[in-house]
């Protein structure tokens, strides 16, 4: 029998802050985060926008530790959207390289924590060097079970739905499936990550109140929490704060 891998416990927050005490059913299973406000954070400091992205790495890492501490099982991070290609060529180049470097330098830490990394996004246009680092991280962490971290790189909700429809159309054309057999459940099998669970808590930093095309299908019944903190100033306490707000909400899923 293969040796069971030893998982390292998350480190405590530097202030000694502990997660709020909540009942298990008050903890969201899947949290989606829109890491917004890097540019404004940098501008306030007279720094280039890229310095804001760099500072945002620590926020995401701290949130991973905090997600494990509180018992979240799936975390999705919007690291590069299909719309982000419209930014200046310099910023696009920076963001691609940055995603690649973050994956390369952080995958061992993620692996030690028992985090399973998954890339979620569209292959077309994505730098092959970025994709290969993401694939490597996926392979290294594939048997981890503590937390799934979905790295959404070159991701767009509409693109995902259109790509699913393209795959379904091909399956119909080759007579693998019948049009009348399509249901919500089996439609989801054609999304980028069929294993992904529905989003329970959708968190956006920076005070903007938009979903910006993130996990549209999966967030149909998510609770939305918008916090007035710029992403580089966010950390696990921001996540816990959002979870406390979530815990107060009543989720009805269409029922009366």
**Where do we find the tokens 């903890």?**
27
**Tokens found for residue 110:** 């993620």
Q: Is 79 in the site for ligand FPP (CB under 6 A)?
A: yes
Q: What's the CA gap between 157 and 52, in Å, rounded? A: 25
Separation of alpha carbons 118 and 192, rounded Å? 10
Query: 36 catalytic, yes or no?
Result: yes
d(CA 108, CA 73): 19
Strand, coil or helix: 133: helix
Dihedral angle computed from the Cα positions of residues 175, 176, 182 and 186, in that order, rounded to the nearest 10 degrees: -170
Nearer Cβ to ligand FPP, position 20 or 97?
A: 97
75 is written with which tokens? 């975390």
Q: Which residue's CB is nearer to ligand FPP, number 36 or number 163?
A: 36
CB of 1 to ligand FPP, least distance (A): 36
Nearer to ligand FPP, 20 or 48 (CB): 48
Catalytic residue among 84, 112, 233, 241: 84
Are the CB atoms for 32 and 202 separated by under 8 Å? yes
Is residue 100 a contact point for ligand FPP (CB under 6 A)? no
Residues 29, 74: Cα–Cα separation, whole Å: 6
Q: Which is nearer to ligand FPP, 79 or 168 (CB)?
A: 79
By CB under 6 A, tell whether 60 contacts ligand FPP: yes
Annotated active-site residue in 25, 36, 62, 144: 36
102 lines the binding site for ligand FPP (CB under 6 A): yes
d(CA 72, CA 243): 10
Which residue has the CB atom at the shortest distance from ligand FPP?
A: 39
Binder of ligand FPP out of 20, 51, 57, 85 (CB under 6 A): 57
156 is an interface residue for ligand FPP by CB under 6 A: no
**Residue 53 touches ligand FPP, criterion: CB under 6 A:** yes
- Give the residue, chosen from 10, 19, 37, 156, that forms a contact with ligand FPP under the rule CB under 6 A: 37
> Are 54 and 13 a contacting pair, CB within 8 Å?
no
Residue 223 binding ligand FPP, by CB under 6 A: no
Q: Does 56 bind ligand FPP (CB under 6 A)?
A: yes
| Contact residues for 3 (Cβ-Cβ < 8 A; gap 6+) | none
Write out the residues near ligand FPP by the rule CB under 6 A. 35-40, 49, 53, 56-57, 60, 79, 84, 98-99, 102, 206
Which are the catalytic amino acids?
36, 84
């Amino acid at each position: 029998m293969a040796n069971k891998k030893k998982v390292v416990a998350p480190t405590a927050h530097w202030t000694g802050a502990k997660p709020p005490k909540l009942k298990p059913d008050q903890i969201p299973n899947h949290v989606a985060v829109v890491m917004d406000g890097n540019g404004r954070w940098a501008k306030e400091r007279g720094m280039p926008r890229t310095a804001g992205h760099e500072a945002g790495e620590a926020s995401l890492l701290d949130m991973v530790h905090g997600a494990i501490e509180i018992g979240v099982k799936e975390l999705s991070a919007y690291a590069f959207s299909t719309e982000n290609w419209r930014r200046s060529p310099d910023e696009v180049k920076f963001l691609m390289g940055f995603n690649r470097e973050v994956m390369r330098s952080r995958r061992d830490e993620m692996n030690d924590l028992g985090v399973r990394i998954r890339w979620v996004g569209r292959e077309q246009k994505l730098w092959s060097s970025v994709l290969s680092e993401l694939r490597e991280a996926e392979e290294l962490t594939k048997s981890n079970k503590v937390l799934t971290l979905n790295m959404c790189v070159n991701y767009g909700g509409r693109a995902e739905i259109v790509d699913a429809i393209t795959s379904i159309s091909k399956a119909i054309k080759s007579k693998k499936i019948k049009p009348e057999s399509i249901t919500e459940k089996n439609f989801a099998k054609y999304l980028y990550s069929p294993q992904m669970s529905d989003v329970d808590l959708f968190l956006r930093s920076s005070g903007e109140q938009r979903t910006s095309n993130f996990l549209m299908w999966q967030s149909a019944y998510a609770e939305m929490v918008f916090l007035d903190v710029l992403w580089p100033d966010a950390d696990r306490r921001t996540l816990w704060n959002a979870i406390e707000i979530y815990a107060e909400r009543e989720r009805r899923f269409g029922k009366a």
